[in-house]
Amino acid sequence: MTTTFSKTIQTFLSQLSKNPALLRRDAGTISSIKKQLHSQGDSNSQGTGNQVTDQETCFAAALEEGGFKYSSAGQPPVETGLYYIYQLNGTQRSIDFQAYDWVDGEKRSLLNFDLKHTKTETFFLNDGWFHENIVYVVSWMRKTSAARKKKVVEAATFIALGQEIPTDEEVKLYEELCAIKKKYNTDYKGAGSFHCYLRFANTYKCDRFTPEFTEECLDKTAKFVEGL
């Protein structure tokens, strides 16, 4: 089953990369999936506390079209197969989706995903940075027009493991900033009733995501999946 999981994931990622429109479909046409995510599979639930994005809805639809079945804390698998779970760690926390292989009542292989979407060339890193061995799926608009010409863009999907995205220079800067944040959060407890805590609200530009770099990162992700 592990071989099936790896090959299915590789095909799924390849399709997402080649067909950016998969994550840009009209969510109204797959509203049942959006409702399922929002209720976490519980028809009596009032929702997860935050709105399910169109990108998340499209991603779940693509997973199901690729052979994965929905599961949740309230709807665990009852038979061997390929499954996915939404918001594994709860709302507003890293890991938007986890795909996994369920065999004999346990997970044999799994892969975590974090989704990003932007209509420009910049997206937010909600928790400040990229995490190792999490697959980031970024929907963005690549500029295709020449310099000083009317701007023309095309939809693009970038897929990469967290550790493959930043440059060495960017990693060094982030580590320096983390040291500064740690110092201030340790040394400064606030004044009176005011308590302070420094947090990152970092962004990242997609201009590094050239077609060549995109293909390179996709290949590295595919090889990583083989080792699962």
183-197 confidence digits (pLDDT tens): 999 998 788 999 888
Per-residue confidence (pLDDT) for residue 206, from 0 to 100 = 96
The DSSP annotation for 110-162 comes to: EEEEEEEE-SSSEEE-TTSS--TTEEEEEEEEEE-SPTTS---EEEEEEEEEG
Q: Assess contact for 99 and 86: CB atoms under 8 A.
A: no
Q: How far is CA 41 from CA 61, 75, 86, 129, in A?
A: 15, 7, 10, 30
72-84 confidence digits (pLDDT tens): 988 889 899 999 9
Contacts of 6 (CB under 8 A, 6+ apart): 109, 225, 226, 228
Which SS3 state, helix, strand or coil, does residue 42 take?
coil
Per-residue confidence (pLDDT) for residue 1, from 0 to 100 = 46
| pTM of this prediction exceeds 0.95 | no
Per-residue confidence (pLDDT) for residue 24, from 0 to 100 = 95
Per-residue confidence (pLDDT) for residue 92, from 0 to 100 = 63
The chain-wide mean pLDDT, for the chain, equals 90
89-104 confidence digits (pLDDT tens): 776 667 999 999 999 9
Which pLDDT band, with edges at 50, 70 and 90, does 21 fall under?
A: very high
- Mean pLDDT, residues 160-177 taken together: 97
6-15 confidence digits (pLDDT tens): 999 999 999 9
Per-residue confidence (pLDDT) for residue 126, from 0 to 100 = 78
- State how far the Cα of 86 lies from the Cα of 137, in Å rounded to an integer: 15
Per-residue confidence (pLDDT) for residue 225, from 0 to 100 = 96
Residue 132 burial class via C-beta count within 10 angstroms: exposed 0-12, middle 13-18, buried 19 and up = exposed
Per-residue confidence (pLDDT) for residue 73, from 0 to 100 = 81
Per-residue confidence (pLDDT) for residue 41, from 0 to 100 = 64
Per-residue confidence (pLDDT) for residue 147, from 0 to 100 = 75
36-74 confidence digits (pLDDT tens): 999 886 655 555 557 899 999 999 999 999 999 999 988
